[in-house]
Amino acid sequence: MSIESEIKLALPAGQVDAATAFFVMRTGEAGHAVTLENIYFDTPGLTLARSKSALRLRRTPDGWLQTFKTAGSAKGGLHSRHEWEMAVAGDALEIDALLRACEAPDVTAALREAAPGLIELFRTNFTRTLWHMQHDGAGIEAAIDLGEVIADVNGETRRTPISEIELELKSGDEAALHALAQALSANIPGLAPDDVSKAQRGYRLREQ
């Protein structure tokens, strides 16, 4: 288990080039782009959503990962939450392994209850361009995510765009995240804190 601390910033579509240029200038690198395909699961009665958690299967260039996250807290774009992640053999969840990895009894109970009735609810497919940087003595992974959330509801395909910056703390003081976010906001018009996760967008898309 790890505790993930990151700041999410909603990125206006017209400012993608400006954000890219900011990170290229700060790191001297063009950034590393990867395509990520994500499937989110829950029960028809939204057992996991009611327990403020999310279950995801992700396809990366290196293989498949399953991830279970608690909601934690989100304020001013800063998201802090518990996260369990592990590799799986293919495009199928391995719930038993995930249950063994989760130490928190209340979290395990929700996942165990949901396991027999899990279905695919929605997908988030996007390109992530990554930079690893140092800022105010902290190691930060910066990413620009561009893509969409897709949900099939009663035969209707619903979509909403993804355009955001994520700043994830890898080492050092959390204050560095805020300082970097402030530097970005000073250089990129329209950038704004975003307290809504990709999973939350998927649930909201289904409710429309």
pLDDT of residue 72: 59
Phi, psi at 36, each rounded to 5°? -120, 125
| Coil, helix or strand at residue 197 | coil
| Cβ contacts of 168 within 8 Å, gap of 6 or more | 4, 5, 6, 140, 141, 142, 143
Please give the tally of structural domains in the chain: 1
* Enclosing H/E stretch for 136: none
Per-residue confidence in pLDDT tens, the chain, 208 aa: 456 688 999 999 999 999 999 999 999 999 999 999 999 999 999 999 998 889 999 999 999 999 998 765 555 555 556 788 999 999 999 999 998 888 666 677 888 999 999 999 999 999 999 999 999 999 999 999 999 999 999 899 999 999 999 999 999 998 999 999 999 999 999 999 998 889 999 999 998 7
Instruction: Supply 56's token pair.
Output: 């995801």
Of 98, 23, 87, nearest to 61 (Cα)? Answer: 87
Residue 144 to residue 1: CA distance in whole angstroms: 25
| Cβ contacts of 103 within 8 Å, gap of 6 or more | 1
pLDDT of residue 78: 58
CATH number for 192: 2.40.320.10
pLDDT of residue 109: 83
What residue has token string 């035969």? 155
Task: Give residue 200's domain range.
Answer: 2-207
Instruction: Supply 199's token pair.
Output: 């999973």
Of 106, 90, 108, 89, nearest to 98 (Cα)? Answer: 108
Entry pTM: 0.89
Residue 144 to residue 161: CA distance in whole angstroms: 13
pLDDT of residue 74: 53
Of 204, 93, 115, nearest to 151 (Cα)? Answer: 204
